[in-house]
Each structure stands twice: as C-alpha cells, then as structure tokens.
Structure 1
Amino acid sequence: MRLTHPKIILTVAAVVALALFAGLAYSYSIWPFRERSEIEAGEVCSSLGPSSSVVNALTKVLPEESSYSFDENASLRVDVTDTNYEFSCFVSGGGKQLLVVEARLMEDEPSKSWTQWVKGTAANETSVKSLTPFTAGDKAVASSRFAAIFVPCTSAGKAPGGQYNLSVSTELKQAGSSSDAAVRDELIKLTRTASSYIHAKAKCDMTPKIDQ
C-alpha cells in the first residue's frame, strides 16, 4: 500500500528525523544523553580547602558536563610584611568557564567601598545585582551567582599602610539545575571553605571570623 496522504508522509518523516537526531545526540553526548562526569577530589584546586566538602558543593552548583578541568594560580606572601598575595582557581567544562574563585590581599577599607570594589571584579554584572549580606569576616555578601568575604588578615603595624584583609570571591558563570536559594547557600559554603584555607596559607596573624 502506498502512503500518499500528506499528513501520513509528514508523520513518517518526523519520526525518522527524530530517530536520526536521537542517534546523533547519543553518539556525540549531546543533552539529554550526555553522561555527567564525577568531580575527582584530587583534581580540585588545593586552595579551595578540604576536597570532600568542596566536591559536594561544586556538584550541586555546576551544570552537568562530560568532563571538568581545574586551573590554579597563586602568588604567595614571603612573610607578614609582604603586601602581595593573589590566588585564582578556574573551573571549566564543555568548552566554557563555569566558575572562578579569586582571592587578593588588600588594605582594609569600609564595608560599602569594599562591596562596590568587589562588585567590579565580577565578570558578569548580573551576578552581583542582587547581593545581600551574610555573616562572615569583616563583611560578606552573596547572590545566587556570586559570594564574597572580606577576611581580616594582617594587623596594623605588621605591613605598610595598616591592616590588610583578604578579599575572597566565588563567581558562578554557568548555572546548573539547582534552585537560586540552594546555589547561594553552596557558593557561601565554597567561599567560607576557601577563605579559611587561604587565610591559613597567607601568613595572616588576625582571627578570620569566617564562621560566625
């Protein structure tokens, strides 16, 4: 029997096209057939802190990708008089940068001016549009895409210019499937954990006040 009815022909063509797409998608690991890679603790940037808690937080906030990569850079302090300390951890997957954690030693300043400054460090302005405070360090703010803590580090008289703090921030550039509230909580956890670890490695002499 010949299929001559236009609707039947279109239906058959649609089914064939869908089957072809499904086959190609599976072959090339295209969503929804992409298999999510597990984040290995040994691959995570060391300065983010204890790997088990970091892996758990990253798994909750990052989008599903078939592989993840971590790139870490650090400029360490020589001693407590040194005013130079910078750290960065870049998390990538699927050919995109997914998350960035950064830390910088800087002179202490009022909360309002630091908040304005740290907003300017975000790569995406929308990440910092809805920042609200939380309790940590001298000042801390977070949204569903960004979290930052201003952590006391070197007391006045130890380094030129007075007290120095560590500004530690986490920016989520590509979101996963978790709710905004859940992501904000996990970004805060990531930033707290990184701040604690970095504070210990940055030759700080002040109490960080991270967990309050």
Structure 2
Amino acid sequence: MAAPKKITLVAGVSLVALVVLGAVAYATGLPPFEKRGEISADRVCGSLGDGEAAAAALPDALPEKSEYRFSGKDDLRNDESRDYFASNCFVWADGKPVLSVVAEMATSPSPDAWGEQVIKDESVPGEEGGRRADFPAGDKALATGRLAAVYVPCLSEGRVPGGPRHLSVIARAIAAPAASEEAARQSLADLAVIMARHAHTRAKCDLPPRLPATAPTL
C-alpha cells in the first residue's frame, strides 16, 4: 500500500517544482516568458519629433520582442534652393528591421495617383494588411494594418526648380505587429502623422501641412 503514496508524493513534488520554475522564468524573463523590450521617449528616433507621442504609438505597430533598437536620420533642409529631403526611423529586433517610418520630398502628382502608387509600391504579396481606411490629414492619408501614409503639402511653386513639392510619409510594419489589425492600423497612422509634423518643420516647408494633432480614430 506504500507504493501508491510514494508515487503520489513524487508527482506532487514534480508539479511544485514545475510551478516554481515557471514562476522564476516569468519573473526573470526567460523563455517562453520574455519580457517586452522597453520603448521610451528618450530612446526613439529624433526624426519622429515628439518622443512621448511616438513611444505611446509604437507598441501596437511592433511584433512582441524582448529588445528593440532604434536608428534613423533626422534631415534638415538648410539650403532653401535644395529640392531634396529625406528623414527616416527604423526599429530593429533580433538583428532585423521590423518597422520603418520614412519621409521624403516628392514632386507633386495628384493625391489619388500618389495613394495608388503607395499601395502598389509598399504592399508586399502575402501580407495581410486588411481593411484600408482613408483619413483626413495632409492632401491625402490612408492606413491598413501593415502601413500608413500621409501626403503633406510642402513647397509652393517657384521655391525650387521643377514645380511644387509634397512630403510623402510612410510608416510600414515590416514584421507583423502583435496587436490586432485595428490597433496596428491606428498605431501606424499615428506614427505617420507624428513623423509628418516634424518633417514638415525640418524641410522648411512654406505650405500649410493640414495635419491633425493626432490621427483620428480609424
């Protein structure tokens, strides 16, 4: 009769040990309980401008990783005859880029033509971006669960050779975000607007940007 009690005792001890090991792994961030990496205002790219707003928007646009690294270029158009401007921010995890936010000065096709080109160039076959939502920002703005883009008026006719210029600002989730499609779409739209506001100042644009303080709820 002693044998069954011994087996029960051993099983109980094993279960307690597993619970303790699980608790330790969770507390220390060991697999499979890695803690999500820190995203703070002082660590995000300067090219995003408003670090607090960017840090708040970023998590829903990113995959869940234990560490994130930020790198970027915060351009400044010092020469007003210069017809080129490009700023960017890249977020890295596990040695790979997982998110990009890019602002570039572009010649000014119609807003609708720009929007169609963005979808053609930035959408990758096999990615599930889901529902597209247009929203009021700049001359045109759109977002899906994998990208958001804003077309911002920048330089008026005659400021640089070749006609007026817009800023094309695109936030793209290179890796699938951990958040829901709806949350990722909102996060990417927020990031595109945040970058657009800062880039409009750094590019020394003379046209009103027509940007909201934050992206509307999509």
Q: Return the TM-score normalized by structure 2.
A: 0.79
Q: Deviations over 1:137-188 (max 9, x none)?
A: 0111110110000000000111112110000010012234322112211211
Residue 40 of structure 1: CA displacement? 2.5
Alpha-carbon spacing, 1:51–1:97, altered in 2? closer, same or farther (3 Å): same
Matches for 1:1-212 after TM superposition, within 5 Å: 29-31=30-32, 33-122=33-122, 124-125=124-125, 126=127, 130-211=131-212
Inter-partner Cα distance in structure 1 for 2:109 and 2:128: 23
Aligned with 1:42: secondary structure? coil
Asked whether the equivalents of residues 88 and 103 of structure 2 are also in contact (C-alpha less than 8 Å), the reply is yes
Unaligned runs of 5+ in 2: 4-10, 214-218
Inter-partner Cα distance in structure 1 for 2:94 and 2:172: 18
Inter-partner Cα distance in structure 2 for 1:117 and 1:123: 10
Larger displacement relative to structure 2 (140-149 or 176-185): 176-185
Inter-partner Cα distance in structure 2 for 1:47 and 1:82: 19
Inter-partner Cα distance in structure 1 for 2:29 and 2:212: 44
Asked whether the equivalents of residues 98 and 175 of structure 2 are also in contact (C-alpha less than 8 Å), the reply is yes
Asked whether the equivalents of residues 127 and 171 of structure 1 are also in contact (C-alpha less than 8 Å), the reply is no
Residue 29 of structure 1: CA displacement? 3.2
Q: Which residue pairs with 2:7 in the alignment? A: none
Inter-partner Cα distance in structure 2 for 1:119 and 1:74: 25
Alpha-carbon spacing, 1:30–1:122, altered in 2? closer, same or farther (3 Å): farther
Q: Which residue pairs with 1:5 in the alignment? A: none
Inter-partner Cα distance in structure 2 for 1:83 and 1:188: 26
Residue 35 of structure 1: CA displacement? 1.3
Question: Percent of pairs identical after alignment?
Answer: 34
Larger displacement relative to structure 2 (73-82 or 149-158): 73-82
Asked whether the equivalents of residues 75 and 84 of structure 1 are also in contact (C-alpha less than 8 Å), the reply is no
Q: Letter of the aligned partner of 1:80 in structure 2?
A: E
Residue 123 of structure 1: CA displacement? 6.4
Asked whether the equivalents of residues 40 and 52 of structure 2 are also in contact (C-alpha less than 8 Å), the reply is no
Inter-partner Cα distance in structure 2 for 1:109 and 1:139: 12
Aligned with 1:65: secondary structure? coil
Provide the aligned C-alpha RMSD in A.
2.9
Unaligned runs of 5+ in 1: 3-11
Inter-partner Cα distance in structure 1 for 2:54 and 2:75: 22
How many aligned residue pairs are there? 200
Asked whether the equivalents of residues 47 and 73 of structure 2 are also in contact (C-alpha less than 8 Å), the reply is no
Larger displacement relative to structure 2 (170-179 or 143-152): 170-179
Inter-partner Cα distance in structure 1 for 2:158 and 2:118: 25
Q: Letter of the aligned partner of 1:135 in structure 2?
A: P
